[in-house]
Structure 1
Amino acid sequence: MALPKLKRVLLKLSGEVLMGTQQGGIDPAFVMELAQEVKAAKDTGLEICLVIGGGNIFRGVAGAAQGMDRAQADYMGMLATVMNALAMQNALEQIGVQTRVQSAIQMDTVCEPVIRRRAERHLEKGRVVIFAAGVGAPYFTTDSGAALRAAEMKCDALLKGTSVDGVYDSDPKRNAAAVRFDTVTYDRVLADNLKVMDASAVALCRDNQIPIVVFSIREQGNLARVLAGEGVQTIVQGS
């Protein structure tokens, strides 16, 4: 099933994608490639919000697993997402795309606070809005932050660009026989723990009827193909 015509979308990128071929950190050349993809999508008339994870710099869950206080580790992870947001803003503005970063943790010298009506005005003016620092509280992932912002901004879809080309019935990296879904319901994702996003994010999208589109952002031009209803993807939606 194809998506209805989209006017406003939220693009969620995993932080690991910004590493490019590196082992960690930010690859400016690959971030520029991603920025070109976002610009091409915006040039079709779409209004675009962005949320970027922080796993290329620091992941709160990983820090907690090594003995750090979970809340402290999560705050560090939120700061990592701000760094990624600023890197993406820099790349977008180098190619002429006006961009605003809004952070759930207030840091006025580098970005705006999250103010919904201001974000809406930015979108109306043709700017890309990058939401950083998750929901501003520990114990919530950037997936939950993306779902929250997608609902708050009344987005028509949440596009999740990852290293995998969709949702599978098992881990395709471990099981060569894993089967990819073209479409799958929110309830199936939750019941079978299919690891699309964390459960709270999927439930929030279900409750607000926001389709989740999972695709590989690493393939050049794939975002445009997915938005055109082509390319390899999985759509998570209601029954």
Structure 2
Amino acid sequence: MQYSNILVKLSGEALAGDKSLGFDNEIISGVIKQLTTLVNDGFLVSVVIGGGNFWRGRTSGDMDRTTADQIGMLATVMNALYVSDFTKTYNVQSVVMTPFPVGTMTEVFNKDKAIDYLKSGKIVFFAGGTGHPYFSTDSGAALKGCEIGADVLLFAKNIDGVYDSDPRTNKDAIKFEKISCETILEKDLKPVDLSCVVLCKDNKLPIIVFDLNAENGIIKVANGENIGTKIIV
């Protein structure tokens, strides 16, 4: 086992599959099956989910950015509540924690409680981003990863790694097996938000970007298999 405490960042768009909006239950079930397998194998597993299958604040047009980002935070709460419910199917408990109160539906984040939940074999979903506008869920994942002492951030995306250009528009794009935070910042590559890269660099928290649709990809990456791209800190 290369890692023991992992934080998985899932994009909302990836969970929607071909639908673009809402949820693809087959994809979600596949993700949860992998996460619960890791829990049963002794990993500490936490999750951050984006809100892009419902709302992306940065693409909200002329709306006030603060309001748009607040809507995005609530979208991530809906996603976490929905996806966390799937853990019951595999007899693993889960908890949704947010940086702000959401009635009785979530718990307000507390670092020590979160770590206790993880050590007791629960999957912890961190929703609501950082709780502040102008910060993405990528940054929220990096922040939570640092706070709970994660060994690695696993970014499960709709692309199989980090490229020097967009492979969807450039057939000659080159994929990196490994790349440093400094190179990402210098080349402005943005496989994840740059504020996330800076925070991980400063706190020595490695990132691995890989394809969510790769068979057992989360399990393979958590166990140290060389798929995707490792962002070295």
TM-score by length of 2: 0.96
Whether the aligned pair in 1 keeps the contact of 2:28 and 2:83 (CA below 8 Å) is yes
Map residues 193-232 of structure 1 onto 2, 5 A cutoff: 193-230=188-225, 232=227
Supply the distance in 2 between the matched residues of 1:193 and 1:93 (Cα, whole angstroms).
41
Figure out how many residues of one structure are paired with residues of the other and give that number. Answer: 233
Map residues 26-105 of structure 1 onto 2, 5 A cutoff: 26-63=23-60, 66-105=61-100
Whether the aligned pair in 1 keeps the contact of 2:6 and 2:222 (CA below 8 Å) is no
Whether the aligned pair in 1 keeps the contact of 2:38 and 2:219 (CA below 8 Å) is yes
Whether the aligned pair in 1 keeps the contact of 2:8 and 2:153 (CA below 8 Å) is yes
The alignment partner of 2:19 has SS state of: coil
Q: Which deviations, in whole Å up to 9, do the C-alpha atoms of 1:213-235 show, x marking residues without a partner?
A: 00001123111122233252110
Q: Which runs of 5+ in 2 are unaligned?
A: none
Pick one of 12, 18, 33 that aligns with 1:15: 12
Whether the aligned pair in 1 keeps the contact of 2:2 and 2:223 (CA below 8 Å) is no
Supply the distance in 2 between the matched residues of 1:13 and 1:169 (Cα, whole angstroms).
22
Whether the aligned pair in 2 keeps the contact of 1:222 and 1:231 (CA below 8 Å) is no
Which residue number in structure 2 is paired with residue 166 of structure 1?
161
Which residue number in structure 1 is paired with residue 22 of structure 2?
25
Supply the distance in 2 between the matched residues of 1:124 and 1:227 (Cα, whole angstroms).
17
The aligned amino acid for 2:53 is N
Structure 1 vs Structure 2 CA RMSD: 1.2
Whether the aligned pair in 2 keeps the contact of 1:31 and 1:87 (CA below 8 Å) is no
The alignment partner of 1:236 has SS state of: strand
Which residue number in structure 1 is paired with residue 126 of structure 2?
131
Q: How much does 1:137 deviate?
A: 0.5
Supply the distance in 2 between the matched residues of 1:49 and 1:16 (Cα, whole angstroms).
19
Is the counterpart of residue 114 in structure 1 residue 103 in structure 2?
A: no
Supply the distance in 2 between the matched residues of 1:152 and 1:84 (Cα, whole angstroms).
22
Which residue number in structure 2 is paired with residue 145 of structure 1?
140
The aligned amino acid for 1:84 is N
Q: Which deviations, in whole Å up to 9, do the C-alpha atoms of 1:86-119 show, x marking residues without a partner?
A: 1111111222111000012211321101111110
Supply the distance in 2 between the matched residues of 1:201 and 1:79 (Cα, whole angstroms).
20
Pick one of 167, 172, 183 that aligns with 2:178: 183
The alignment partner of 1:133 has SS state of: coil
The aligned amino acid for 2:22 is G
Whether the aligned pair in 2 keeps the contact of 1:9 and 1:158 (CA below 8 Å) is yes
The aligned amino acid for 1:92 is T
Identical-residue share of aligned pairs (%): 39
TM-score by length of 1: 0.94
Whether the aligned pair in 2 keeps the contact of 1:99 and 1:128 (CA below 8 Å) is yes
**Structure 1 residue runs of 4 or more that deviate by more than 6 Å after TM superposition:** none
Supply the distance in 2 between the matched residues of 1:149 and 1:20 (Cα, whole angstroms).
26
